[in-house]
Every structure is written in C-alpha cells, then in structure tokens.
Amino acid sequence: MIKTVATEPYLDQKPGTSGLRKKVRVFQQPHYAENFVQSVFDALGDEKTGQTLVIGGDGRFLNREVIQVAIRMAAANGFARVVVGQGGILSTPAASNVIRQRGALGGLVLSASHNPGGPDEDFGIKYNISNGGPAPEKVTDAIHANTKSISRWLTVEADDINLDTLGEVTVGGMTVEVIDSVADYAALMESLFDFAAIKRAVEGGFTMSFDAMSAVTGPYATEILEKRLGFAPGTVKNGTPLPDFGGHHPDPNLVHAKELYDRMMAPDAPDFGAASDGDGDRNLIIGRGRFITPSDSLAMLAANAHLAPAYAGGLKGIARSMPTSAAADRVAEKLGIPAYETPTGWKFFGNLLDAGMATICGEESAGTGSDHVREKDGLWAVLLWLNILAASGKSVDGIARDHWATYGRNYYARHDYEGVESERADALMADLRAKLLTLPGETFAGLTVETADDFAYTDPTDQSVSRNQGIRVLFQGGSRVVFRLSGTGTSGATLRVYLERYSADQLDRETPEMLADIIAAADEIAGITQHTGRTEPDVVT
C-alpha cells in the first residue's frame, strides 16, 4: 500500500550542486531526507516506472537509516528493482560501475565525500544518472525546483530489510537485491590493468602503504591490493569503514593524511604510498621521498597510460578542471590529442567521456579517472600508478623527474580559507569581478597581469554554457592565480586560491619559494586579508 505523507518545502540546497550535503542533525529533522529523495524521484517523471535504482553509501553515520527510507520510497515511486551494496556500502566509483553494468536508471549515493562523518558532522545524498555520472545541471535544477515546492512524499508500509545478507527480498512489490559491494568493481579493475606485472613487482620486493582513512575504500583496497595483488597483510591501514571515520577527516591531502606523508618521507619508507577519501573517489599519491601533486599526477598518468592494457591503444583526449594546472595540456599537445578545460566538478567530464572525446580526466582536488566509469576513482588512480611503476621499473621519483625533464614543471599549490563569513567571501568575489577589466597591464608584487576573466564554459557536446566558474588572473610569463568559492562546504564559505608557476628549466626547487611572488600578488589583487581578516590560509595543499 502506497502511503502519502504531507510535508513542506524546507530544504536549503545550494542551486547548481549535484546533491544535498548538510550536517547530520539537519538531515535528522522530520521529512528532510525524504523531501530530497522525493524531489529526485519527481524529477525523473514517469521514466522510473519499472526501472532499476542503485543505492549505496560510504558507511558514514545515518547511511543505513537513510537507505531503508529510500528503499521504501523507491517501491512507492514505481521502481521495479533496487540494487544495494552489502551493509549499505558502495564507493562512489563502484556505484557508478554498478549503475552502468546493471543498466539502471540511476543511483542514490549517500556520502558527504571527503567531509567528516559522525552525529555532529556531515551527511549527503547525490543522484547519478544512467551513464553512472553525477546528474547534469538540467536534472539538478529540476530537483532543486522540486525541493522548493514539495508538498508530499510517497512510501510503503514495510519493515527494514537485512542489509548484511546477500540475495533478494521484496519490499512493497519491488525486488531489492543486496550485492557484494566489491566484486564487480574488483573485476573491472582487473580488466583494465596488468595485475600479473604488478604481482611480479610485489614478489620482487615492491612495497606500499595504503591509508583507507577508516572510510569506504578499506574493503576494496584489501581485496585488490592484499588479496589479488599479493601485498603484505597490513598494507591497507584503517581498512574498516567506520560511521565517524575514526574521528578523522577523510580527505587525502597532506594535512589530513600527514601520518602517511611522514612515513613516505622517512628513510625506510615503502616504495609507494597512497590514500583515498570518504567515498573512494579521490586519491593521494606519494612515492618514497616524493609527493606528487594531483595536477602532476594527472599529467604523469596520461603520459604513461599506454603502459596499462586498457590504454595501450592511446587516449582520445585529456580533460582537466580549470583550476587544475596546465601540466596535462602539455602532455596532450605532445600526444597530438585534444585538451579540455572544464569548470570544477566531475559532472562536466561526463559529456566528454560519453561522446568519446576524452579518455582521462582530473582535478587538482585529487580526483582522477577515465572512461571506465563516470566518476573520479581513487583506487583506479592508485592501480594505474602501480601498473606504470611495474611496467617501467622506475620509482615514483624517477617518473616525476623524467616527466619534468620532458615537459617542464608546473609548480602548484592551493590555499583554502575555511569558514569565512559568507557575506565577506561574497564581497571579496564581487570586488574582484568589478575590477576585472582594469587588471590587465597592472603590476602586483612585481608580476604584470596579462589577462583576467571570470571563467565561462561552453560544453562542446551540447553547447550549454556555465558562467561565473572562478576568476582567472594570468600574469606575463605564464604564472596564474585563480579565485573561487567552494560549492561543497556545509558551514560558512571557503575561499580557494589556486597558485601556479611554470618553469621549463628549474626542476628541483621548493614550491613555496617558487610561488612566493604569486602568493603576494594574489593578496594584493583580491585583498584577502582585508576582506577575510585572515593572514594565513587554513589548509595548503
């Protein structure tokens, strides 16, 4: 029996975001998660009748409860089948894969990504479409519009299902299938990479350390790295997903994965170190004594991808988000393939991948992926690195040095100012926009501005235009600073300042030293201290 529950529109979802990300306490309000799930289902119209929906999450606090609610709502809304990961677990890239393999209409991925979890932290729900990727703007706009006018949500009277037992059960006439969270994904990885070569390297003494950050990649990494590739037990650290990620911030950067970083800089470090985030789509790559920036990782993976079976035939194109360094563009140029510059957010890559225009994509925020799914994929990046290291016999440092010697080096850093009052952050951006036209020709900290603009993107596949995607200031000589506000925070505003300097011949300098002038110029141009009251960024990555 379908039950109609009256509700009121009270979600304050940021327009243009591909999901809803809020504090757990906000999600725990009556009808809150239900309002969003119903808004998604309503946006799908009649299309959903008789279709399959995939549901899974990163195991954070509230994951299981919201999955049970969503299963009952899916039954009431006409879906024929729900496929759910065992224990409610599916990493974001694994969910993308299941959606594609099962021919599902879409999927609900329950995660707040790299944000902390627990009763006082964050929760989130995002909707992915049938290609396995984040919903595009026309779908998220429809969802957002529904959240503003919703008056009822639909459910069926049914008990919670047992999420831990594999197999099929029926809920309100709909079939629910609980699947192994890891199996399909592990098989996909095995089809892309030369597992035998990596295994031989491991047998030959190659070692690694993987920090799963008590988040979703633990079971995936244990199965693939330890069981299938033969790395020693204990290679995967923090391998059990915990509802609060063990109190840690599951963001694989140098601040939150400091323990791994310190280990990799020690004289007895393993050959390779890596980490992934809350929902498994981001990655951190560190060789013994050598951290690889995500922008460099994208370029190095693209330059060496032909060493892995899946990419031996070459790449169709390389796409990067605008704030990501231009290192990947140089690789595309040398390979004679197109380079695309998109706004921040993985959804913009989906169209390029679907159209067969790009094969590898990446963002400076530690997301890298390819056309094997429609999400960024943390373990995929780790395995491509392992394949390249095994096939070339080089170290991470060796790959990096060879790469810079060929292409030059893009020194790069991102400065985040977190929890800034929204009005102050908005004022900073408004002031910047107001003076864009006057910047060219002006000199700041010894650097002369060549061009300045507010990045707009025309999607080459459907000509849709996305405006106001971040302020770009390019200096003479090729250095650059980009200013944008985060779209994923849950309290206050986060100002991100992206700093980049290219050098063809200075390949072994320290990044802070190389970026010092650009950092000073960025503050002069945007008045960061004056607007935010901060003299230092909270996080430097």
Provide the annotated active-site residues: 113
Q: Which of 68/541 has CB closer to ligand G16?
A: 541
CA distance 291 to 43: 43
Alpha-carbon torsion angle 105, 92, 189, 353, nearest 10: 60
Q: Which residues have CB under 8 Å from 529's CB, separation 6+?
A: 523, 535
Long-range contacts from 332-339, C-beta under 8 angstroms, 24+ separation: 332/302, 334/303, 334/406, 334/407, 335/302, 335/303
| Range 307-326, binding ligand G16 (CB under 6 A) | 321
* Closest distance of CB 18 from ligand G16, Å: 8
Stretch that binds ligand G16, among 33-41, 360-368, 450-458, 471-479 (CB under 6 A): 360-368
Q: Which of 496, 501, 526, 528 binds ligand G16 (CB under 6 A)?
A: 496
Alpha-carbon torsion angle 304, 307, 308, 313, nearest 10: 90
Q: Which of 61, 346, 412, 444 binds ligand G16 (CB under 6 A)?
A: 346
* Closest distance of CB 312 from ligand G16, Å: 29
Q: Which of 281, 296, 459, 500 binds ligand G16 (CB under 6 A)?
A: 281
Q: Which of 330/496 has CB closer to ligand G16?
A: 496
The two counts, helices (H) then strands (E), for the chain are 17, 27
CA distance 369 to 379: 9
HSE-CB of 17 using CA atoms within 13 angstroms = 20
Residue 359 binds ligand G16, judged by CB under 6 A: no
Q: Which of 282/374 has CB closer to ligand G16?
A: 282
* Closest distance of CB 138 from ligand G16, Å: 19
Stretch that binds ligand G16, among 252-260, 307-315, 361-369, 394-402 (CB under 6 A): 361-369
Q: Which of 42/279 has CB closer to ligand G16?
A: 279
* DSSP category for residue 306: G
Residue 113 binds ligand G16, judged by CB under 6 A: yes
Q: Which of 42/459 has CB closer to ligand G16?
A: 459
Residue 488 binds ligand G16, judged by CB under 6 A: yes
Q: What distances in angstroms separate CA 385 from CA 37, 208, 276, 285, 286, one per listed residue? A: 37, 12, 14, 8, 10
Start-to-end CA span in the chain (Å): 52
Q: Under DSSP, is residue 355 helix (H, G, I), strand (E, B) or coil? A: coil
Q: Between β-strands 81-89 and 367-370, what pairing exists: parallel, antiparallel or unpaired?
A: unpaired
Stretch that binds ligand G16, among 182-190, 206-214, 471-479, 485-493 (CB under 6 A): 485-493
Q: Which of 345, 362, 369, 537 binds ligand G16 (CB under 6 A)?
A: 345
* Binding positions for ligand G16, rule: CB under 6 A: 113-114, 281-282, 321, 344-346, 363, 365, 367, 486-488, 496
